[in-house]
C-alpha cells in the first residue's frame, strides 16, 4: 500500500566539551499497535487526515503480525476506512470497511456491536456516495446491533443516528432528522464520560437543522452553546471550535446579514489553517463557505478566488471524484457566470458530470446543480435547453420528497 504522508522524525544530539564515556544507545523499538491507533485517532480528531492515514496504515501492518483472526486488524482496517473516506476515496474506504465487517462477523457474530459500528461506517460511505437507500439500511441495522450489544442508552448509538439524521435531511424529512439529533444530544449529554467534541458536533447539527426551517431564534442559543463549549473545553485550535464559529457565521447569513458573516468565515479559515495546515481539505470547506457569504454580498471576484483555491486543494488532497469538489465546481461556475465570464459553461458541464457520478443520478445535490445550470441557460436566452434541465431537476426533487422511497 502506498503511504501518502511520510512522517520524518528528527533526532537532536547535544554535544558538550566535557568528555563522557561512550554509551551504547538502547535498541530502537517500533511503536506498539496501541500507540499507532492512539496517534491516528488524535490526528483524525484534529482533521489531519494524511497523518491519520499514515498511522492507521502502520497499525494495519503491525496488526497483521497478530494474524488474520485478531480483532486488532479489523479495528485498524475500520479506522483506515474512516480516514480514507474523509479524503474522498470512497472505493478504497468501502473495501477496507467491508473487510473489517467480514472479520467482525467471523470473530463475534453477525449481530455483534462491532459489526454494528462497522455498518455505521459503511452507511457513511454509501450516503456520501449517493446510495441513499443502502445507507438507510446500514444505519438501521447498525442501530439495532449496537443497541442489542451495548444497551439502548449506549453513546455509540449516536453515530448511526447522526448518519440517519443527515440522510433524512437530504431527503427533506426534516422533522424526523431533528428528532434523531435531539435524541443524540441527550444521549451524549448523559453518557458517563461525555465527549465534548461529539456533543459540540451534535449541538451544531441541531442548530443547523433549525436554521433550515428558519427557526433562527431557537437555533441561536444552541449554536452559541456549541461554539462556547468547544472553545472552553477543546481550545481555540480545535476543529470543532472552528466549525462552531462557521455555523454562527451561517446564522448571520440566514438572518440576512452576510456582511457580518464574512469576517467570521475569514477567521475560520485562519483557525483551520493553524490547526491543520494551509492545504487541508477542511480549509477548502472553509473557503467554500466563505465564498457563499461573498456571493450574498455580490463580491463575485473574491468568491471566485476562494473557490479556485478550494478546488486546487480538493484536487490535490481528495482526488478527482470528491463530492465536495463537485459542489465547488458548480459554485465556481456560478461565480464566473455572475461576472460575465466566458468559461462558465465548461465549469458547469464538469461540475454536473462530477455531481452525478459522485452523488448518483437521483441525489438532491444534482437537482440543485441542474437548477443553477437552467438559470444560466435562461440568462443566455437558451430557454428550451433551460426548461429541459429544470424539468430534470424537478423530477429528482420529487423522488426525494417525504414518503418517496430512496432505494
Above pLDDT 70, what percent of the chain? 90
Tell which of 84, 108, 132 closes a domain.
Answer: 108
d(CA 73, CA 292): 42
| Alpha carbon of residue 221 to chain centroid | 24
Mean pLDDT to the nearest integer, 132-156: 95
Residue 328: all three cell numbers together: 465547488
Mean pLDDT to the nearest integer, 217-232: 95
Tell which of 66, 87, 108 closes a domain.
Answer: 108
* H-run or E-run covering 353: helix 344-359
Per residue in 46-83, pLDDT (tens digit) is 888 889 999 999 999 999 999 989 999 999 999 999 99
Inside any domain, residue 294: yes
Tell which of 108, 139, 167 closes a domain.
Answer: 108
Q: Provide the number of structural domains found in the chain.
A: 2
pLDDT of residue 342: 81
Inside any domain, residue 244: no
d(CA 248, CA 178): 18
Q: Of 267, 330, 268, 255, nearest to 296 (Cα)?
A: 255
Inside any domain, residue 114: no
Window from 84-88, 249-253, 369-373 with minimum mean pLDDT: 84-88
Inside any domain, residue 209: no
CA 249-253-256 angle, to 5 degrees, is: 140
Inside any domain, residue 407: yes
Inside any domain, residue 376: yes
21 pLDDT higher than 70 = no
d(CA 299, CA 160): 39
pLDDT of residue 131: 80
Domain ranges, residue 298: 277-407
Inside any domain, residue 198: no
**Which of the pair, 284 or 169, is modelled with greater confidence?**
284
d(CA 245, CA 229): 11
Q: Of 391, 333, 392, nearest to 361 (Cα)?
A: 392
Per residue in 24-38, pLDDT (tens digit) is 444 456 899 999 999
Inside any domain, residue 192: no
User: At a CB cut-off of 8 Å and minimum separation 6, what does 314 contact?
Assistant: 88, 281, 284, 322, 324, 325, 328
User: At a CB cut-off of 8 Å and minimum separation 6, what does 215 contact?
Assistant: none
**Which CATH number does the domain housing residue 293 bear?**
1.25.40.10
Amino acid at each position: 500500500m502506498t503511504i501518502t504522508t511520510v512522517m520524518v522524525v528528527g533526532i537532536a544530539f547535544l554535544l558538550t566539551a566535557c568528555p563522557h564515556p561512550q554509551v551504547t544507545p538502547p535498541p530502537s523499538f517500533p511503536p506498539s499497535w496501541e500507540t499507532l491507533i492512539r496517534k491516528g485517532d488524535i490526528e483524525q480528531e484534529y482533521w489531519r487526515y494524511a497523518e491519520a492515514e499514515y498511522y492507521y496504515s502502520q497499525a494495519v501492518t503491525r496488526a497483521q503480525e497478530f494474524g488474520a483472526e485478531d480483532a486488532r486488524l479489523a479495528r485498524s482496517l475500520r479506522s483506515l476506512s474512516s480516514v480514507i473516506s474523509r479524503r474522498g476515496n470512497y472505493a478504497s474506504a468501502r473495501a477496507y470497511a467491508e473487510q473489517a465487517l467480514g472479520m467482525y462477523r467471523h470473530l463475534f457474530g453477525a449481530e455483534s456491536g462491532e459489526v454494528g459500528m462497522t455498518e455505521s461506517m459503511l452507511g457513511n460511505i454509501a450516503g456520501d456516495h449517493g446510495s441513499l437507500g443502502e445507507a438507510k439500511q446500514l444505519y438501521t441495522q447498525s442501530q439495532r446491533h449496537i443497541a442489542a450489544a451495548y444497551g439502548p442508552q449506549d453513546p455509540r448509538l449516536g453515530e448511526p443516528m447522526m448518519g440517519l439524521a443527515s440522510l433524512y435531511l437530504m431527503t427533506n424529512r426534516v422533522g424526523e432528522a431533528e428528532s434523531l439529533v435531539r435524541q443524540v444530544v441527550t444521549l451524549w449529554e448523559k453518557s458517563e464520560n461525555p465527549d465534548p467534541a461529539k456533543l459540540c458536533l451534535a449541538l451544531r447539527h441541531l442548530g443547523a437543522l433549525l436554521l433550515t426551517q428558519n427557526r433562527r431564534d431557537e437555533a441561536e442559543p444552541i449554536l452559541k452553546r456549541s461554539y462556547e463549549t468547544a472553545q472552553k473545553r477543546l481550545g481555540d485550535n480545535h476543529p470543532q471550535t472552528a466549525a462552531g464559529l462557521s455555523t454562527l457565521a451561517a446564522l448571520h447569513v440566514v438572518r440576512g446579514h452576510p456582511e457580518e458573516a464574512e469576517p467570521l468565515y475569514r477567521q475560520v479559515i485562519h483557525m483551520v489553517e493553524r490547526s491543520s495546515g494551509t492545504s487541508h481539505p477542511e480549509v477548502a470547506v472553509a473557503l467554500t463557505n466563505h465564498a457563499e457569504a461573498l456571493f450574498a454580498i455580490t463580491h463575485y471576484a473574491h468568491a471566485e478566488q476562494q473557490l479556485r483555491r478550494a478546488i486546487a486543494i480538493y484536487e490535490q488532497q481528495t482526488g478527482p471524484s470528491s463530492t465536495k469538489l463537485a459542489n465547488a465546481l458548480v459554485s465556481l461556475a456560478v461565480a464566473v457566470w455572475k461576472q460575465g465570464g466566458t468559461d462558465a459553461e465548461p465549469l458547469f458541464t464538469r461540475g454536473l458530470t462530477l455531481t452525478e457520478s459522485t452523488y448518483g443520478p437521483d441525489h438532491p445535490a444534482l437537482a440543485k446543480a441542474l437548477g443553477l445550470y437552467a438559470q444560466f441557460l435562461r440568462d443566455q436566452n437558451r430557454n428550451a435547453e433551460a426548461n429541459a434541465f429544470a424539468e430534470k431537476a424537478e423530477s429528482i426533487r420529487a423522488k426525494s420528497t417525504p414518503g418517496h422511497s430512496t432505494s
